[in-house]
Amino acid sequence: RKSLSESCNTLPFTVIMAIMFLVLVWLHGYIGSAYQMGSAIRQAVEQVNVDVPIRSSATVLNSSRVVTVESFSESDDIMRWVAGGMVPLLGNEASRVQRLFGYVQGFNKVVGGVRMVQTRSSLEPCAVNGDLRYFYG
């Protein structure tokens, strides 16, 4: 009688564990759509091209070069690529990446638009060893 009573006391816990297991198995069924969303956004970001004017010292030449996510060569390239390609692609703006706009927004059901904020700090002198300051200027 005592063992039967102990078995019946653990029954609710067993049922709850079985339900939790089934819910987790059911939720793992969305792995395919999560992969598709991630690869669609990655592919769209890799296709973003931004024309950047070519600079020769202080003057801007009349030609330009195409900058992609894999071809950054200067810090200005990154900012121009983000402002001219990445933000319009992931945000809610219509731009020259119009053909990819609907593609990313079609998969991006959870997050919605992207908001980017830049915070700038003030320039302050650093506490550096005198020999290093002399060497590097």
What is the per-residue pLDDT across 79-125, written as a single tens digit (0 to 9) for each?
888 888 877 776 655 544 455 555 566 555 555 556 667 777 787 77
Place of tokens 């320039």: 123
Give CA–CA dist 8/114, Å, rounded.
52
Q: Which two tokens stand for residue 48?
A: 């973003």
pLDDT band at 21 (very low <50, low <70, confident <90, very high): very high
Q: Which residues contact 95 (CB under 8 A, 6 or more apart)?
A: 84, 88, 101
pLDDT in tens, 25-51: 887 777 777 787 778 778 888 888 888
Other CB atoms closer than 10 Å to residue 64's CB: what's the count? 12
pLDDT at residue 2 is higher than 70: no
For residues 18 and 112, which has the higher predicted lDDT (pLDDT)?
18
Q: Say what the pTM is.
A: 0.50
Q: How far is CA 76 from CA 8, 24, 34, 53, 135, in A?
A: 69, 46, 33, 11, 28
- R_g (Cα) of the chain, nearest Å: 27
Neighbours of 124 (CB within 10 A): 6
- pLDDT greater than 50 at residue 23: yes
